[in-house]
Every structure is written in structure tokens, then in C-alpha cells.
Structure 1
Amino acid sequence: MKTILVLGGTGKTGSRVARRLKAAGLPVRTASRAGGDLHLDLDDPTGWTPAFDGVTAAYLVEPSLSASTDHPSRIPRLVTEAVAAGVRRLVLLSAPRAGEDGHPLHAAEQAVRGSGADWTVLRPQWFAQNFSEGPWRPGILAGTLALPTGDGRTPFVDAEDIAAVAVAALTEDGHSGRVYDLTGPRAVSFGEAAGLIARATGRTIRHIDVGPEAFVERQVAAGASPDVARLLTELLVAVGNGEGATLGDGVEQALGRPPRTFETFVSETAAAGSWS
């Protein structure tokens, strides 16, 4: 097999995909705006050609929520460049409901599906690692996770499962033309999640519900654009409204095993000292 390109190779899923590929002894090239084997800026197509030299399979991810809303053509342009360069297998990290018109990643999905290459689309629910490596970690460390989710529940998916499915799709036959809905094995409320992390770490952690407008204002004050802040808030409010609690069977379909539990994620993350 020739080289596999991992876009976002220093991110939550890309780093795990690259690590698994390297452990299997496969040739891997990571690309990102910062770090990785080479610099790749989705806003600068002049630097894309070297990324695809000798590449036959690629893991694609839109790393920026704001870019996915403001510049939805970035991934479609990249897909065109990749196929022209000889890439024959594409695995796209997408999101729930991205098949619907108007979704920020709809154009990316359509581009991959119509590329002429073998393609697989991954639609994961909220990452469990958002509590340990992402936007909710500061709240966990501060002891108060303030989100507009109420008592809504969602089946957080472990990024390790996402990476395992991505590697299978990149390296094995039988995944072409598949859309995998990736979730954990059960839906968990943010309050329960905070409680599980609290017990595993010995910390006092609580989840409090905040109003949507207050949450938007907080995100804008932290540097998010108003459009991105509203989009993020809408997604979290949807959880509170009971949306996004449906379990997907993508992990089992792709890997032949159940997904990792949120409890396993918490115990392993706490043992690693990630919340210390």
C-alpha cells in the first residue's frame, strides 16, 4: 500500500488514526496547519499538491467549525485535488444530519460521494474526549460544567472508536459507500457524565443548565464569531430537547464489536491523570 494521508493529524481523531496506522506498520503522512509531517492550510490550495504525492487513501476532516459555516467549499475543493492526484479511497469525518441541505458539512459529504473514489462517511455523535481534551475540560477542572443542555442525554462516542473505524475504512475492503453513525452504547446526560468523572477523580463537579442567549454571549466573549456561537448553542440545546439521543450501530457494523462505554473512557482518562 502506498502512503495514507491523515488530515488534521494532530487533532483528536487524526492523531489517533495516524498512531494506529503507524502501529500497523503502514506508511502515513500527517498534515495540519500546525505540527504534523507537513503544513497544509485549507485556505491555501497552492500548498495542497505535495500533500497528495504518492497518496492512495486519505482521511479528511474539516478542523474548523467556523470555516465549515463560512467556507463550505474547502473540503470539496480538496476532494477534487485529491482525486486528480491519484487518491482512490476517501474517509470523511462528518457529523449527524450532514446529509441534510443546509448543514455545514453537507457539501463535503456530497463531494466525497460524487468523487469517483471509494468513499466512507463517518458521522459521530459528541466526542467523549470533549471532556478531557476539548471545550468542556476547563469546566471539569473548575468544577462547574455550564451548558444549555438541561437533562438531555446523548451517546458520547470515544474518539478511539472513531479512529478504529477510520483505519478499517482506510485499509480494508467492504466499507466503500457506507455511512457509519458512530455513538457510544448508551445515552448519558451531562449531569451523569459530570458525576462519573467526579467519582473517578475525587473532584466535586456539577453540571448546571444555562440559557441559550447567555451561552451565546459567553462564547462570543471567548472569541467565537456570533454565527459559530449560535450554531454550537443550537446543537447543545437540541440535546436538551431530546434530540441526538438515538443510538447508532456504526461501530459494530464496521468493527464487529460493541462501542466503548463512557465509563471506560472516564476510568482510563482519570488513570492517565488527564484531569489532574
Structure 2
Amino acid sequence: MSNNQYLVIGATGKTGKRVTDRLRAARKTVKAASRSGNVIFDWNDKSSWPDVLRNVKAMYVTYFPDLAMPGAQDDIRTLCEIARQQKVSHITLLSGRGESEALACERIVASSGMSWTVVRASWFMQNFTEGLFAQFLLDGSVALPVGDVKEPFVDIDDIADIAFDSLLNDKHKNKLCEVTGPELLSFSDVVEAFNQAYHRKAAFHQVSPSLFSENLTRIGVDENAIAMLHYLLTEVLDGRNANLADGVQQALGRAPTSFKTFLQKNRHVFV
């Protein structure tokens, strides 16, 4: 059998499920791989990787929990080596802005011998509708260890459109696509936009990193997830990413989705 399948690693994740849906809508043969499901892929079990990568033409890769984690570089390097052995032609990697460890993984992909696309993304807007922060908003109190630093939050649907197109369209080959939303917003700005959109009275509070971790521990959040959020909120979110990029415009020929539009299309989450 020739390599004619499209692999999505992390197919149940925020971006992975959207890329999978787009591929299926385009009538492509998809291997939707995750830690549970018909195609099992576990970053901690490399023994199954050759079989998962067999007959794959191109793949979209999201790393769990984050490319900043110890071991990510070795995992990405091994994945690329096996993919090359299996004659995979192309890899699209989801990366993060402002993370030196993620940059190292990007370099591994770029030197893999396959064609590649890196989608380097800012914070997801969907973190406020599909993650822990959504519950904070519903509860009326968003308490985070951040101040007035601004972030160009990006809509995951924009990311998925680019990732999907990169698997099918040669114009994205061997390119870095840095994606952000069209505006810089603080977390306080986000809460205010939420209040205006849905006529709510949620409040934003800056708390210490230790109190933030204690609060998450109390509600049963996994310690690894707490460590990741602590890293992202106290180290990466220090202003280094407080600038806009034009990746969405360059890749898709349109403006990125605004936060106001994002809130409008996600009314079903809160109303």
C-alpha cells in the first residue's frame, strides 16, 4: 500500500480534533491518533510508533503536554527518524511562542529530511471556552498569577485552517507560520470583554503563584497540569509575546479572528 493516509497525533485535543474534522470533510483517509481510541499513540510508549506511522503521507503533530516539557526534544527527534524511515513526506508541528524548548523542537523538525510546516501559536482563545478558565468565568472569578501583561490570543479555528491546508498544499512547505489574533489583550481585558458580550459580572484578580497552585490543587487539578500552567503564566507570559504576527494573513489571505467574534460564535458555552 502506498503512503496515502493523513495522521493526526493528538486527535482528541483542541486543535487535533479540528484538523481531523477538516480532513474527513475533505474525504481524506485519516489516522486519528491519541492515547485512547482506534489508533493508539502514547508519547511514553515508542514501541507502537512505527505501526502508527506506516502508510502515512503527511502528519499533524501536537505534543502532550507541551513542547517545553523535559524529554520533548528527544521524542520529536525519534518521531522524525521513524517517520523518515516510514517514508512520511511531510510534518506540520504545532509550536508555542516564546519558548526556547519549543524552538529547539522546531529546529529538529526543520532538519528532519521531510518537508515541514511549523505553526507557532500564541495563547488559545479556546482556553476560555474549552478549558479550566471557562469554569472560572462561569463561577465569576478569574484568579491568576498575572498582571497587566498583554497577549495576542489566537482562535484555534484559524490554527486548524492553516494546519489542514499545510497537509494538502505545497505553498506551506518548509515555512514557519507564526500566528496571533489581531489585538493585544490582558486577562483583565478578556474578562471585561466576556462581561460585555454576555452581560455577566465576572471579576479578574491577580494572585500569587503559590495561591494559584493551592487553589488548583484544592479543586483536584493534576500536579503536572499545575506545573505547566505555572510555567506558562509566570515565565512565558512576561511580555515577551506582547506583539502581533501576520501568520494568519500570510497563510490564509484573511485577517485573524477577533476576540469579539470568537465570543459571538461561542455564545452556546455561556448562554
TM-score norm. by structure 1 comes to 0.89
User: Deviation of residue 152 (structure 1)?
Assistant: 1.8
Aligned to 2:35: 33
CA–CA distance in structure 2, aligned partners of residues 31 and 240 of structure 1: 30
User: Is 1:129 the equivalent of 2:131?
Assistant: no
Q: Show the counterpart of 2:270.
A: 275
CA distance in 2, matches of 1:34, 1:141: 29
- Uncovered stretches (5+) of structure 1, i.e. residues with no partner: none
- Output one character per residue of 1:47-103: Cα deviation in whole Å (capped at 9) or x when no partner: 1122112111000110213x85232222221121111111110000011134x3xx2
Matched, 1:46 2:47: yes
From 4, 11, 22, give the equivalent of 2:24. Answer: 22
The equivalences for 1:227-266 within 5 A come to: 229=226, 232-237=229-234, 241-266=238-263
**Residue matched to 1:60:** 61
Is this contact kept in 1: 2:143–2:205, CA < 8 A?
yes
Offset at residue 110 of structure 1 (A): 2.5
The whole-number CA distance in structure 1 between the counterparts of 2:190 and 2:12 is: 26
SS of 2:191's equivalent in the other structure is: helix
Would you say how many aligned residue pairs link Structure 1 and Structure 2? Answer: 267
CA distance in 2, matches of 1:266, 1:251: 19
Say which SS state the counterpart of residue 266 (structure 2) adopts: helix
Matching residue of 2:181: 184
The answer to whether the Cα contact below 8 Å between 1:154 and 1:239 also exists between their aligned partners in 2 is: no
Residue 98 of structure 2 contacts residue 241 of structure 2 at CA under 8 Å; is this kept in 1? no
Answer yes or no: is the 8 Å Cα contact 1:194–1:206 preserved in 2: yes
Question: How far apart are 1:257 and its partner, in Å?
Answer: 0.8
Contact 2:43-2:64 at 8 Å conserved across structures: no
**Residue in 2 aligned with 1:13?**
15
Deviation string 1:151-183 (CA, Å, 9 cap, x unpaired) is 221111000000011011111012122111110
- Bigger Cα displacement from structure 2, 164-173 vs 214-223: 214-223
- Tell me which of 104, 109, 120 is aligned to 2:106: 109
Distance 1:211 1:240 in 2: 14
Q: Residue 4 of structure 1 corresponds to which residue in structure 2?
A: 6
SS of the equivalent of 2:97 reads: coil
TM alignment of 1:193-232, pairs within 5 A: 193-219=190-216, 222-225=220-223, 229=226, 232=229
TM-score between both structures, scaled by the size of structure 2? 0.91
Query: Offset at 1:225?
Result: 3.8
The worse-fitting range, judged by mean Cα deviation, of 160-169 and 210-219 is 210-219
Identity over the aligned pairs, expressed in percent? Answer: 36
Give the deviation of 1:241 after TM superposition.
4.3
Matching residue's letter, 2:71: H
Q: Is the 8 A contact 1:94 1:122 kept in 2?
A: yes
Query: C-alpha separation between the residues in 2 aligned to 1:97 and 1:235?
Result: 10
Q: 1:126 to 1:30 in 2, by over 3 A?
A: same
Looking at structure 1, the residues matched to 175 and 155 of structure 2 have their Cα atoms a distance apart, in angstroms, of: 20
CA contact (8 A) 1:148 1:240 kept: no
How far apart are residue 212 of structure 1 and its match? 2.3
What SS class does the counterpart of residue 96 from structure 2 fall into? coil
Aligned to 2:139: 142
Q: What's the secondary structure of 1:94's corresponding residue?
A: strand
1:81 is the counterpart of 2:60: no
